């Protein structure tokens, strides 16, 4: 079994898509381990997206992710990290395939509705930031 960190981002929470998105993960065999509904502080957001510091999209990413409540989930299944990335689809909703969460539900960049950890190290780091050790 493997764990990953999923975020249902503010644009999706605002549009009432929490149940729809969690349902897609559950239908794909994911189990919810921990869940937190919260608006991230700017400090937490900057720590979470540390690797994006200095990139052109960093300011809009921090403004967006702190713009309203988001839903944070530690999710578990075998191959969770790669399976979640497949379920979520391409970063840019305009390029995400139909049938993926971003392809079906997301708006644009940065409002792409979901986050999913991209490797085991990221999953561990992100889970510690969101849920503590």
The residue ranges that bind ligand CDP (CB under 6 A) are 57, 60-61, 91, 109-110, 112, 115, 118
Whose Cβ is closer to ligand CDP: residue 15's or residue 57's? 57
Whose Cβ is closer to ligand CDP: residue 35's or residue 109's? 109
DSSP strands (E only) in 1-133: 2-8, 31-38, 70-77, 114-116
- Helix, strand or coil for residue 17? coil
Task: With beta carbons less than 8 A apart as the criterion, state whether 68 and 100 touch.
Answer: no
Nearest-approach distance from CB 108 to ligand CDP, in angstroms:
8
Nearest-approach distance from CB 130 to ligand CDP, in angstroms:
15
From 6, 64, 115, 130, the catalytic residue: 115
Other CB atoms within 10 A of residue 109 CB: 14
Whose Cβ is closer to ligand CDP: residue 33's or residue 90's? 90
Question: In the block, which residue shows the tokens 């608006």?
Answer: 39
Task: With beta carbons less than 8 A apart as the criterion, state whether 102 and 112 touch.
Answer: yes
Torsional class of 98: left (φ above 0), alpha (ψ -120 to 50), beta (otherwise): beta
Nearest-approach distance from CB 98 to ligand CDP, in angstroms:
17
Task: Report the residue closest to ligand CDP, judged by CB.
Answer: 110
Whose Cβ is closer to ligand CDP: residue 22's or residue 102's? 102
Tokens, residue 26: 């559950």
Q: Examine the residue annotation and report whether 57 is marked as an active-site residue of this protein.
A: no
Nearest-approach distance from CB 31 to ligand CDP, in angstroms:
22
Active site residues: 115
């Amino acid at each position: 079994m493997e764990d990953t960190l999923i975020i249902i981002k503010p644009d999706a929470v605002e549009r009432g898509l929490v149940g729809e998105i969690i349902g897609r993960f559950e239908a794909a065999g994911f189990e919810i381990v921990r869940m937190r509904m919260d608006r991230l502080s700017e400090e937490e957001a900057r720590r979470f997206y540390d690797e994006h510091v200095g990139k052109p999209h960093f300011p809009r990413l921090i403004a967006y992710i702190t713009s309203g409540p988001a839903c944070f989930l530690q999710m578990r299944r075998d191959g969770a990290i790669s399976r979640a990335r497949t379920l979520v689809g391409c970063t840019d909703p305009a390029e995400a395939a139909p049938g993926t969460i971003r392809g079906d539900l997301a708006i644009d960049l940065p409002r792409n509705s979901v986050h999913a950890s991209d490797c085991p190290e990221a999953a561990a780091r992100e889970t510690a930031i969101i849920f503590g050790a």
